[in-house]
Structure 1
Amino acid sequence: MTEISGYCADRFQGVRCELERQLDSGAELGASICVTVDGEPVVDLWGGHLDEDRTVPWRTDTLVNVFSISKTMTALCALLLVDRGELDVHQKVAHYWPEFAANGKGDIEIRHILAHTSGVSGWQPPIDLADIYDAEAAAARLAAQPPWWEPGSASGYHALNYGHLVGEVIRRVTGRSLGRFFAEELAGPLGADFHIGTGPEHRDRIASLIPPPAVQFDMSTLDQDSILVKTLTSPLLDIAETASPGWQGAEIGAVNGHGNARSVARVQSVVSCGGSLDGRKLLSDKTLDLIFEQQSDGVDQALLVPLRFGIGYGLPHPQTAPAVPEGRVCWWAGYGGAIVVNDLDHRLTFAYTMNKMEPGILGSARADAYLRATYAAVREGAA
C-alpha cells in the first residue's frame, strides 16, 4: 500500500481512502489534496512520487505545474486591485493599456478579459511557445491584433494568454509584473508556496509531469482559422517543455503557476472565507459579488463545451463540472486534472494537484472522485 503523509480530520477519512485507492491502482503517480474550512486545513495529504521511475517520493514541499489553476491566482490579483479602487471591471482595457485599443478592441472591458469573453483568446499565428516567455513582448502582440469574435457576446477560453492580458493591465496599474505583484501581495503575506515565475532554487522539488495518452485526432482536419484551432495551437503547448528553466522561470499567468494543494487552498481560501484570512480583510463583499456576476453561459467557442463564467472564475455547470456543487461556488481546473473549488456557502476550499495527467483540459475522473468524497463528508457533518 502506498504511504500517504499529512493530516486528515476523522470526518474526511473518505478523501484519504480515495487517494490511497488511486495511488495503489497506479492511476495516480504523485498527488496532494488540501481542504480548508474557515481557512484552516481539515485535509492536507500527499503521497506517491515525483518521477515516473518512482525513485523520489512526493514530499510536503513538492511543487508541480498546475496549469490553469494559475488563472485563479491571476484573477485574484486583479480583484485585489478592484477592491482598492485601482481597477474597474466595467472600464475599458485601453483606459489602462492604451495600445490595446488597436484593431477594433477599444470597447473591450476589463470584465471581458477576466471572463474569457474578450474575443482575444490566443495569439494571431504564427507564434512559438518560447515567444510567450517574454510577457511584455507577448502582450504587445495581443494589443496589436483584432478580436476573433464580438467581445462580450460569448466565451472563448483564453487558454494560454489569460495571464498576459490581465497581467499587462496589472503592470500598467501598479508598475509591477504579475509574478512580482502576486508574490508581494498574496503569496508572501499569506505564506503560500505558490509561484508565477518559479526560480531555479525551487527546481529540485518540482514534480515531473507525465503527459496524458495522446488523443487520436488530427487537428489538421479542422478549419485552421477556427477559434478552437487558433486558441489551442497559437502557440501549441508542449508538456516536455514545461520541465525547461525557460518555461518555469517565465511569468505565464494562465498556465505556469507552480504550487501544491496546500498553497493553492491557502491563497484561494481568501475567497471561500468571504474575503478575510487570518484577521486580514483582502476583499469586500462587493468585490466578491463580482465573481458571481455571470458573464457568459453557453458553448465556449474555443473548447466547444458548455461553460459558465463569472468575473475571474468558472461557475458551476452540471454538464462540464458535475462534481462541483451548485450554490455560491466558483472553481477552475488545470489541464490534466488539477482543480480548485471555492464554496462560500460552506466556507470551504478544495484543492488537488498531481503530476500524472489525464486527458482533457478541464478536470478529471480522479478530481471528481476526491471532490465527491469531500462533499460526502460535508453533507454528513451537516446531517
Structure 2
Amino acid sequence: MTQATVRERSAALPKGVHGAADPHFACAVRSFASLFPSRRFGGGALSVYLHGEPVVDVWTGWADRRGRVPWTADTGAMVFSATKGVASTVIHRLVDRGLIDYDAPVAEYWPEFGAGGKADITVREMMAHRAGLSQLNGLTSADLLDHLKMEEVIAAAPASSLRGKPAYHALTYGWLLSGLARSVTGLGMRALIRQEVAAPLDTDGLHLGRPAPGARTRNAQIIGPQLNIQNPVFNAVAPRLAAVQRSAIFGAMYFPGMKSMVQGETPLLDAEIPSANGVATARALAKMYGALANGGEVEGTRLLSSDLCAALVGRRSLAPDRSIFMPLAFHLGYHALPLPGILPGFGHVGLGGSLGWAVPDTGLAFSFVHNRLLTPFLAADQAGFVATAALIRRGAAAARSRGYRSISGFGATFPAGSESVAG
C-alpha cells in the first residue's frame, strides 16, 4: 500500500465527481455517481476504508434544494438512524474505560431508570433493542425536541410486553443511550459524540444536530418531502393507530407534525435526538467504521481496544424484528443484514439510505450519505446502493489482491480546543 499522487487519485473519477479514489474502485464510483444524474436528485458522498486506510473519498451533486450550492468536502447530511451507530460507539468508548459494563443493569448507573419494573434491564439488552420501550405513546413534537425531558420520560416509563424481544426502538434508542451516558459522564450526547468520536478521529464531520456556526461542516438541505399538503383522514387516524401497543414501527416513529420537522430549515436539527438527527460527512462516518473493521484502529489512531472491537461482531440471526418484521440481528447497537448474499458485516442504515458499514472479515468499511429522504426515488436509491455496495466489495477484493493506494487530504480536521461542547 502506497500513497497516490493527486493525478493518480483522480484517475478513477467520472465527470462531476470530486475527491479521489484508488483505481480498483472505479466501477463503484461510477455506480455512486449514477445516483445523482441531475440537480433535482440532490447530492451525496461516498467514502471507503480498507484495513484502516482511506481508499475512496468522493462527492458530487448539490447541497441545496434549488441545485445552486455544490456538495463539497465538508458537506454533511442528516443521516437519520445511522446516528445510532455513532451514539453506540460513544457507549463502547465508555465501556472500554471501565465506566460501563454491558451486562450490568442500566439502573446501576441511571437509578431513575429502575422505575416501572425496569431495574433488571441490562445495557446489553438495551443496545439490542430489547428493552420494551420502543413506542412513543402520544408524545408531541415539542416533547421530542426537549432531550432532557425525553430522558426523564423514558426513565419513568414501564417496559411493554415486548421486553426481551427484538423490537426496533426507532427514536427512543437515542435517549436511552444519552440518559445512560449522562449519568456516567455528566455530559449529553451532543458533547460526547464530539469528545469521544470526532476528536479522536480528528474530524469535524460528526455532529449531533445542526453544526455550530463556527464548524467547517455544513449540513445539506433535505430535498423532500417539502410540500405541506394536509391529509385530514391520516391526521385523525394516525394518533389512534400509533397508540395501539402492537402498532410496530408506526408507534415507534409517529408523532404529530413529524413531516414539518424535516421541512424548511429542518427544525429537527435543533434538538438532541441521538437516534435520528446526526449530521455526518461520508468520510467521518467511514473513518469510524474503518476502526471497527480493523480491530479498533484507523490511520494509526486507536479508537477502541481490539478485544472490545472483536465483541461487536454478533451472531447471525434470522429472527424477525417485532417493529419492522425483517431480521436485523441487532448486537451492541449495530444491525446486520443476515439474509444471504446481501451484505456481510454490521453497521447502521438510516431513513432514506444513508449508512455506515463495517465488514471486519475483510477489513472493509464504507459510508454513503445524501440529502434525499422521502422522494419518488427512495426505492431506486435503496436498490441502487445495494449494487454500489457489491461493487465496493469487488473493488476491495481486487485491491487486496493486487495492492492499493491510500488517499488523504480532504475535509476539515477536528478544531483544536473544542472538545468541551455544552451538553
**Could you state the TM-score of these two structures normalised by the residue count of structure 1?**
0.89
Map 1:133-282 to 2 at 5 A: 133-152=145-164, 154-192=165-203, 193-201=205-213, 205-211=218-224, 220=238, 224-225=243-244, 226-228=246-248, 229-234=250-255, 237-238=258-259, 240-241=261-262, 244=265, 246-282=267-303
SS at match of 1:309: coil
Map 1:113-152 to 2 at 5 A: 113-125=126-138, 127-152=139-164
* Separation in structure 1 between the aligned mates of residue 75 and residue 374 of structure 2, nearest angstrom: 20
- Partner residue in 1 for 2:49: 36
SS at match of 1:173: helix
Segment drifting more, 194-203 vs 225-234: 194-203
- Partner residue in 1 for 2:88: 75
Superposed displacement of residue 2, structure 1: 5.8
Is this contact kept in 2: 1:50–1:56, CA < 8 A? yes
SS at match of 1:211: coil
Map 1:255-334 to 2 at 5 A: 255-294=276-315, 297-318=318-339, 323-325=342-344, 329-334=345-350
Larger radius of gyration: 2
Superposed displacement of residue 101, structure 1: 1.2
Map 1:342-381 to 2 at 5 A: 342-357=358-373, 364-381=382-399
Q: How many residue pairs were aligned?
A: 374
Q: Which runs of 5+ in 2 are unaligned?
A: 1-13, 402-423
* Separation in structure 1 between the aligned mates of residue 57 and residue 106 of structure 2, nearest angstrom: 39
1:290–1:348 distance in 2 versus 1, CA, 3 Å: same
Identity of aligned residues (%): 29
Segment drifting more, 24-33 vs 106-115: 24-33
Is this contact kept in 1: 2:225–2:263, CA < 8 A? no
Is this contact kept in 2: 1:316–1:331, CA < 8 A? no
**Could you state the TM-score of these two structures normalised by the residue count of structure 2?**
0.81
Superposed displacement of residue 7, structure 1: 0.3
SS at match of 2:319: strand
AA matched with 1:22: L
Is this contact kept in 2: 1:209–1:239, CA < 8 A? no
* Separation in structure 2 between the aligned mates of residue 17 and residue 181 of structure 1, nearest angstrom: 36
SS at match of 1:101: helix
What CA deviation, in whole Å up to 9, does each residue of 1:346-381 have, x standing for no partner?
A: 2111100001235779x8113212211101212334
* Separation in structure 1 between the aligned mates of residue 86 and residue 280 of structure 2, nearest angstrom: 11
* Separation in structure 1 between the aligned mates of residue 15 and residue 343 of structure 2, nearest angstrom: 28
Superposed displacement of residue 177, structure 1: 1.0
Q: Which runs of 5+ in 1 are unaligned?
A: none
* Separation in structure 1 between the aligned mates of residue 162 and residue 35 of structure 2, nearest angstrom: 44
* Separation in structure 2 between the aligned mates of residue 14 and residue 107 of structure 1, nearest angstrom: 50
Superposed displacement of residue 312, structure 1: 1.4
SS at match of 1:22: coil
* Separation in structure 1 between the aligned mates of residue 85 and residue 217 of structure 2, nearest angstrom: 25
- Partner residue in 2 for 1:62: 75
Superposed displacement of residue 14, structure 1: 0.5
What CA deviation, in whole Å up to 9, does each residue of 1:32-90 have, x standing for no partner?
A: 00001122221101001112321111111111101111101100000111111110111
Is this contact kept in 2: 1:199–1:249, CA < 8 A? no
* Separation in structure 2 between the aligned mates of residue 333 and residue 251 of structure 1, nearest angstrom: 19
AA matched with 2:371: N
